Amino acid sequence: MAKVHIRKRALSNDRHSIYLDFSPPLRNKKTGKPQRFERLDVFLYDKPSNHLERRHNSETMELVENLRANRLLDIQNRKYGFISDRDRSANFVDFFKQFICSKTRSECDNNAMSYRYFVAFAGHDVIFNDLEEFFCEDYKHFLLSGPGISRRGRPISRNTAANYFAKFRSALERAYKKGLITTDLKSQVDPIKLKETHREQLELEEFQSLVDTPCKSDLIKRAAIFSGLTGLRFSDVQTLIWGEVRGASGKYYLQFTQEKTEGAEILPISDQAVKILGKRGEPGHRCFHNLHYSSLKPCFKDWMPRAGIEKNITFHSFRHTFATLQLELGTELLTVSKMLGHKSIKTTLIYTKVKDKMKIEAAGRIRLNLKNIKAI
């Protein structure tokens, strides 16, 4: 059991400050770092010369003793980071499964597959005591080897491996904050760097063509167009409820929590986007009831060719479309970043690489008379 000692430190003017000394150090609940001492911002007179100074010392020590007792009670109530042998022997795999399932309200095959890959690597019997840096590095190398454990046996890409490993690192962070492991493994193990890929998006004319083209599922069509008009991810479109759609004509906005980042957002949306939602339902009902990720691919496979689009368009392409069209139409980068809910503007910069009309226009501004140049 930890001990809490009262310590004194000499100050000027014949006074002593008082602080608490934790042995062994506690984990600070806010920072997650070990904390040995706690300053109390109180003092004692070394040699009280009158009744007031003696009373001050007496009341101060009574206060300090109460604080010490409260800290001991906090420890007993597990408000600090002491980890019992029982907790260290608990099953991390069960914790990981519960963690990724609780991360989102949406149906997401990605979460299920990240769990399956971890089990394929480590089995079902990994305890918290087994989690060390070399174990995490081994799992990273396993994912980077591109194993194929799906029914089709296809190897996974580097970016998919990065996605799965990111979920594992987030689980490590949660375990550390909950005091289930003693080392901040997430900060010790580097993430897998993403490979830059081509991001498919629609031209404005192509987007309009999809609006004008019939689709086998009106639900999926409306959801995709809504994403293109708002920049929302599939998970946020799927879980959007009517109570999160607020405002009036010309001033509509969404007040919701992003599924991916868990960030609270207020997102202005257009009247057209609200029109796509259809007739308003009950506050707790989903705007796109019965929207399932597994239904997207077969629907898109039919819808895109009908609209004359040969690109490999996914649901996420509509989010890319929103971002690139906003930038092309003159919306400032910082504004687009905020509308996408990005924590860093660096994330938004990737959309400037897709197509930059200003660069295209600039490329043709230098004009020369080439009549004396022989054609090759």
Q: What are the extents of the domains in the chain?
A: 3-76, 86-188, 204-360
**What is the reported pLDDT for 88?**
60
Would you place residue 107 in the very low, low, confident or very high pLDDT band (cuts 50, 70, 90)? very low
Asked if 217 and 295 touch (Cβ cutoff 8 Å), the reply is yes
Least confident residue range of 167-171, 272-276, 332-336: 332-336
Summarize the confidence of residues 307-322 as an average pLDDT: 93
Summarize the confidence of residues 366-375 as an average pLDDT: 63
**What is the reported pLDDT for 34?**
72
* pLDDT, tens digit, 9 for 90 and up, residues 150-175: 666 778 888 889 989 999 999 999 99
From residue 231, give the alpha-carbon distance in Å to each of 79, 194, 257, 299.
40, 22, 14, 20
Residue 225 has pLDDT above 80, yes or no: yes
Q: DSSP string spanning 297-311?
A: HHHHHHHHHHTT--S
**What is the reported pLDDT for 157?**
85
Instruction: Please tell me the distance from the alpha carbon of residue 181 to that of residue 194, in angstroms, as a whole number.
Output: 28
Residue 369 has pLDDT above 70, yes or no: no
Q: Which CATH architecture has domain 86-188?
A: Orthogonal Bundle (1.10)
Q: Please, what is the average pLDDT of the chain?
A: 84
Residue 108 has pLDDT above 60, yes or no: no
Would you place residue 364 in the very low, low, confident or very high pLDDT band (cuts 50, 70, 90)? low
Residue 351 has pLDDT above 80, yes or no: no
Tokens 């759609």 found at = 245
More confident of the two residues 22 and 18: 18
More confident of the two residues 177 and 358: 177
β pairing state of 253-257 and 34-45 = unpaired
**What is the reported pLDDT for 298?**
92
How many Cβ atoms are within 10 Å of 129's Cβ, its own excluded? 15
Residue 82 has pLDDT above 80, yes or no: no
**What is the reported pLDDT for 289?**
93
Residue 61 has pLDDT above 90, yes or no: yes
Instruction: Please tell me the distance from the alpha carbon of residue 153 to that of residue 15, in angstroms, as a whole number.
Output: 73
Would you place residue 114 in the very low, low, confident or very high pLDDT band (cuts 50, 70, 90)? confident
**What is the reported pLDDT for 205?**
94
Instruction: Please tell me the distance from the alpha carbon of residue 324 to that of residue 318, in angstroms, as a whole number.
Output: 10
Residue 9 has pLDDT above 70, yes or no: yes
Summarize the confidence of residues 89-95 as an average pLDDT: 86
Residue 105 has pLDDT above 50, yes or no: no
Would you place residue 73 in the very low, low, confident or very high pLDDT band (cuts 50, 70, 90)? confident
**What is the reported pLDDT for 181?**
86
Least confident residue range of 245-249, 346-350, 355-359: 355-359
Summarize the confidence of residues 36-55 as an average pLDDT: 90
More confident of the two residues 64 and 3: 64
CATH, domain range 204-360: 1.10.443.10
Residue 353 has pLDDT above 80, yes or no: no
Summarize the confidence of residues 314-323 as an average pLDDT: 92
**What is the reported pLDDT for 3?**
81
- CA 250 to chain centroid: 31
Summarize the confidence of residues 278-292 as an average pLDDT: 93
